[in-house]
Amino acid sequence: MAALRYAGVSVGYDRTPVLTHVDLELRAGQRLILVGPNGAGKSTLIKSVLGLVPVLAGEATVLGESPAAARGRAGYVPQIDTLDADFPVSVRQVVMMGRYRRIGWWRPARPADRRAVAEALELVGLADRAGHRFGTLSGGQRQRVLLARAIAAEPRLLLLDEPFNGVDAVSQEAIVRVLRELSAAGTALVLSTHDLTVARELADLVCLVNGRQWAVGTPGETLTAGKLRSAYGGGLVLVAP
């Protein structure tokens, strides 16, 4: 079963499409990278998979169901600047939020949940920061905490919105390593980025978008000068990798 299948899909708000002509199929363990300029519709596409933005046309299947029916089953790592950095919450508590759906909203955490939290923090290399307040960490470390939170939920499909924005080299390396481990373990990954170097390095599939889907395929097929120029509208200056 495909983790994600979009056929001729348009997504958008208030019946106004933001992104059209999306045709994708993602299997377990594959890494799909959404590439496109700001405002291209990458975040909107991710939100449509999460069931938060309506599918206006076409057929969308997420983990075998409609996006709305699958809501809550796919993992999500939001952009860090959408979070309240002043909130009084420790790193450990943030990662525990990933377990809430399994624990239930009212039951106390069990030893298995604490173990999952500790293991997720270990995986992203922040076990020593568990007791720190989330807001005291650097941008890259916060991003890793959010990744740990998503991992603690053990999703089969994980979506990350610009996980490398405002992230230092050490954290970026840690995130890339963890993402490789997750997909090796069978998790399907979707992430958006501006960074073509990361896209080339990490992607099984690249989806080039800007208002519509311009290309989908392996990095070699999609990240070509011609296709990038057509998607970016000619304003892109390519630097050799």
Binding site for another protein (CB under 8 A): 13, 50, 52, 71-72, 74, 76, 78, 82-84, 87-90, 94, 97, 100-101, 105-106, 133, 146, 149, 153
Which lies closer to another protein via its Cβ, residue 52 or residue 225?
A: 52
* Helix (H) or strand (E) run with residue 119 in it: helix 111-123
At 75, which amino acid appears?
A: G
Would you tell me how many other CB atoms lie within 10 Å of the CB of residue 35? 28
Distance, in Å, from the CA atom of 143 to the CA atom of 63, rounded to the nearest integer, reads 25
Min CB(236)–another protein separation in Å = 29
Residue 9, beta-bridge partner list: 22
Min CB(123)–another protein separation in Å = 19
| In 32-110, alpha helices (H) | 42-49, 91-97, 100-103
Which lies closer to another protein via its Cβ, residue 51 or residue 219?
A: 51
- Asked if residues 103 and 152 have their Cβ atoms less than 8 Å apart, the reply is no
* Helix (H) or strand (E) run with residue 223 in it: none
For the stretch 220-226, contacts whose Cβ atoms lie closer than 8 Å and that sit 24 or more positions apart, written own/partner, are 222/35, 223/35, 223/196, 223/199
Distance, in Å, from the CA atom of 204 to the CA atom of 224, rounded to the nearest integer, reads 15
Which lies closer to another protein via its Cβ, residue 87 or residue 173?
A: 87
Min CB(129)–another protein separation in Å = 14
Which lies closer to another protein via its Cβ, residue 52 or residue 170?
A: 52
Min CB(127)–another protein separation in Å = 20
Which lies closer to another protein via its Cβ, residue 21 or residue 133?
A: 133
Min CB(94)–another protein separation in Å = 8
